[in-house]
Structure 1
Amino acid sequence: MTARATSATGLPPAARAGGFVLLALALVVVLALSITVGARPIALSDIWNAVTAFDPAQTNHKIILDLRLPRTLVGLLVGAALGLSGAILQGATRNPLADPGILGINAGATLCVVLGISVFGITQLSGYVWLAFLGAGAAMLVVYLVASLGREGATPVKLALAGAAVTAALTSVTSAILITNVQTLDQIRFWQVGALTGRTTDILLQVAPFILAGIVLALLTSRILDGLALGDDVARGLGLKVQRGRAMVGLAAVILAGAATAAAGPIAFVGLTVPHLARAFTGPNYRWILPYSMLLAPILLLGADIVGRIIVPPGELQVGIVTAALGAPFFIALVRRRKLAEL
């Protein structure tokens, strides 16, 4: 059965297009709420005035441009990156539980940040970005090289096993450093939980080129993912170069998940749950799954960030805590309902 034949599941094509438009409108609403909702409520009219006629004497204008707008745009990019990276990792490995954490991306980023703090004394969040991106890419490379050993190459099972092994090794090293260095633990705690708070324009400008490039590359892999979904042998019979295609998908995942983790820390469940939610509407066709995931994920992430601001006033819960609290029961219910075994 081909990907085109199985695409009959999910919404009809016309309804998918309409659903995509509705998601885009919902994302616009969430973006507006992300800027206006907080400890200090801001009117929608202030957003336009702050952008077109900024007045440094106006407190609301400063809050919008210095705090709310960068935070919202980082959330938009990070959400899109996590949603797409989760979707393409699940497609490439044919593993319904795959997310950026399964291939060591989060663990590699965390270890590199910990080493930067403890060894090089880096304390600024802008410095964490490059360390986390370097660690994420290096960890993914190690996982792929380990999984590529042998005649079969980097099969889905070997990728998952290699990712689990590398993640365990990196996590143990990170834990050992943090246990013996309380100062490093204090500095990394805020980043490690996953947060959008304090994300400035500098961080946005650092990660935006990587995430935008990763989005373009990910959207170009839809044909590869549709082929891999049929199994490696069938994909080869259709003329797909499996190892080259899987390497291209892996590169897109590293760029997206690495940059997202670098900007906001390791955020759980977004990359895991969103592709399944998208697949429920679109069916197995990745030409639809990827765009849907790209919109659904920032809606979820920014929505969780908004909930975190209003649930415990005057303080706030970091978005990584909220996504874990919302995502875990949702995913359990999804698995029980759909009885997912493989993609």
Structure 2
Amino acid sequence: MALRAPTLTRPTLTRRVLRPTGLLLALGVLAVCALLSVTVGAKPIPVADVWAALAAYDGSYDHDVIRSLRVPRTVIGIFVGAALGLAGALMQALTRNPLAEPGLLGINSGAAAAVVIAVFAFGAGGSAFVWPAFIGAAVAAVAVYALGSRGRASATPVRLALAGTAVAVVLQGIVYGVIVLNDFVFDRIRFWQVGSLAGRDLDVFWQVAPFLVAGVVLTLCLGPSLNAVALGDDLAATLGARIPLIRTATALAVVLLCGAATASAGPIWFVGLIIPHAARMITGPDQRWLLPYAAVLGAILLTAADVVGRVVLPHSELEVGIITAFVGAPLFIALVRSRRMAQL
């Protein structure tokens, strides 16, 4: 399935008004989700106590829960969701495939394999997952790009997708082989492996923050170039677009965003798949608007899913990766069956 090259015409007055207004409304919804994230849980905490904990910490149990558990969880959820939304939009633009998502480049599998190796060899745990996961994601992406551009052929979207699928299968085989044979490794990574925000602290966020910021800045700068690439390689080249450079920069941005997100919260699926389609329904094909929307909508989805996971069971909670799978799987099936999406 290939994304049809869109025709970027001058937006109508309605769309010029709708885009910024909708983005402001989405930011408002995100603020509400963030507030719910710090107030809702096994023990509901009134909003007044939340403000008191943030403004005048007194060392009480409720204040400690808010500051040490819920605020870091909320911050990481917002930035991980935004990173996955952006990475998904970039992947669909890079491969021109409406069903593409960050895992297509083997990034999630590379991060998981590196974490498993770090736990097996060095007994790593907790925040120590960050660097192995990020390095594994980067190495997997480089391997995919090297395989996809091997020989005289350039790294076309189809070659990258095929190489990414092959690398991901091999790396997942390594992961499953180790965790089946080693109970210690399985116990250490079982929650991280399904995608979780629980137990994360701000140290994790600060470790990946530079990569997130670099990825976001690079992504937003790529908007106009991706619009040109969407017209087709030949036409984009006649307009002065440097196709290999744009593809390399896009792949680098995906590695920075998805690597940092996976290192922070584990491999979370479907966010990068469904969010770009939701954003495209509002903005149309213009990447200059689609990318900011994808970031905000991705943050909304992940924080909302995390809140739902805390309350869906009476005396426990579901990891956020499970909730996004429940939401994303039916939408994925709908996308596969949709003729309209297949013809984008």
Distance 1:226 1:7, change over 3 A: farther
Mapped contact 1:94–1:342 kept (Cα < 8 A): no
- In structure 2, C-alpha distance between the alignment counterparts of 1:271 and 1:342, rounded to whole Å: 19
* Aligned mate of 2:38, from 30, 35, 47: 35
Deviation at 1:4, TM superposition (A): 2.3
What is the CA deviation profile of residues 244-274 of structure 1, one whole-angstrom value per residue up to 9, with x for unaligned ones?
1110011110000000000000001000100
- Give the letter for the 2:188 counterpart: Q
Counterpart secondary structure, 1:239? coil
Distance 1:6 1:143, change over 3 A: farther
- In structure 2, C-alpha distance between the alignment counterparts of 1:76 and 1:326, rounded to whole Å: 18
Deviation at 1:82, TM superposition (A): 0.2
Counterpart secondary structure, 1:14? helix
Mapped contact 1:7–1:283 kept (Cα < 8 A): no
What is the CA deviation profile of residues 255-300 of structure 1, one whole-angstrom value per residue up to 9, with x for unaligned ones?
0000000000000100010001100111100011101001001111
Deviation at 1:332, TM superposition (A): 2.3
Deviation at 1:207, TM superposition (A): 1.6
* Corresponding residue number in structure 2 for 1:68: 70
Mapped contact 2:110–2:168 kept (Cα < 8 A): yes
* Aligned mate of 2:22, from 2, 13, 19: 19
> Within the alignment, does 1:149 sit opposite 2:153 as a pair?
no
* Aligned mate of 1:115, from 110, 114, 117: 117
What is the CA deviation profile of residues 33-87 of structure 1, one whole-angstrom value per residue up to 9, with x for unaligned ones?
000011111111222221221111x221111110000000000010000000000
**Could you list the runs of 5+ residues in structure 1 that have no partner in the other structure?**
none
> Within the alignment, does 1:332 sit opposite 2:315 as a pair?
no
Deviation at 1:342, TM superposition (A): 5.5
Counterpart secondary structure, 2:45? coil
- Give the letter for the 1:75 counterpart: G
- How many corresponding residue pairs? 340
- Give the letter for the 1:27 counterpart: L
Give percent identity, aligned residues only.
50
* Aligned mate of 1:103, from 102, 105, 108: 105
* Corresponding residue number in structure 2 for 1:45: 48
* Corresponding residue number in structure 2 for 1:315: 316
Mapped contact 1:46–1:61 kept (Cα < 8 A): yes
- In structure 2, C-alpha distance between the alignment counterparts of 1:11 and 1:138, rounded to whole Å: 45
Mapped contact 2:81–2:300 kept (Cα < 8 A): yes
- In structure 2, C-alpha distance between the alignment counterparts of 1:278 and 1:215, rounded to whole Å: 17
- Give the letter for the 1:95 counterpart: N
Deviation at 1:2, TM superposition (A): 6.4
* Corresponding residue number in structure 1 for 2:9: 5
Distance 1:241 1:254, change over 3 A: same
Deviation at 1:209, TM superposition (A): 2.0
- In structure 1, C-alpha distance between the alignment counterparts of 2:193 and 2:182, rounded to whole Å: 15
- In structure 1, C-alpha distance between the alignment counterparts of 2:339 and 2:227, rounded to whole Å: 21
* Corresponding residue number in structure 2 for 1:251: 252
* Corresponding residue number in structure 2 for 1:78: 80
> Within the alignment, does 1:140 sit opposite 2:144 as a pair?
no
* Corresponding residue number in structure 2 for 1:175: 176
**Could you list the runs of 5+ residues in structure 2 that have no partner in the other structure?**
none
- In structure 2, C-alpha distance between the alignment counterparts of 1:83 and 1:258, rounded to whole Å: 13
Deviation at 1:340, TM superposition (A): 1.9
Deviation at 1:211, TM superposition (A): 1.0
Deviation at 1:116, TM superposition (A): 0.3
- TM-score, structure 2 normalization: 0.95
Deviation at 1:338, TM superposition (A): 5.2
- In structure 1, C-alpha distance between the alignment counterparts of 2:28 and 2:39, rounded to whole Å: 17
- In structure 2, C-alpha distance between the alignment counterparts of 1:177 and 1:333, rounded to whole Å: 35
- Give the letter for the 2:74 counterpart: T
- In structure 2, C-alpha distance between the alignment counterparts of 1:37 and 1:175, rounded to whole Å: 35
Mapped contact 1:143–1:163 kept (Cα < 8 A): yes
- In structure 1, C-alpha distance between the alignment counterparts of 2:280 and 2:55, rounded to whole Å: 40
- In structure 1, C-alpha distance between the alignment counterparts of 2:10 and 2:121, rounded to whole Å: 52
- Give the letter for the 2:9 counterpart: A
- TM-score, structure 1 normalization: 0.95
Distance 1:276 1:338, change over 3 A: farther
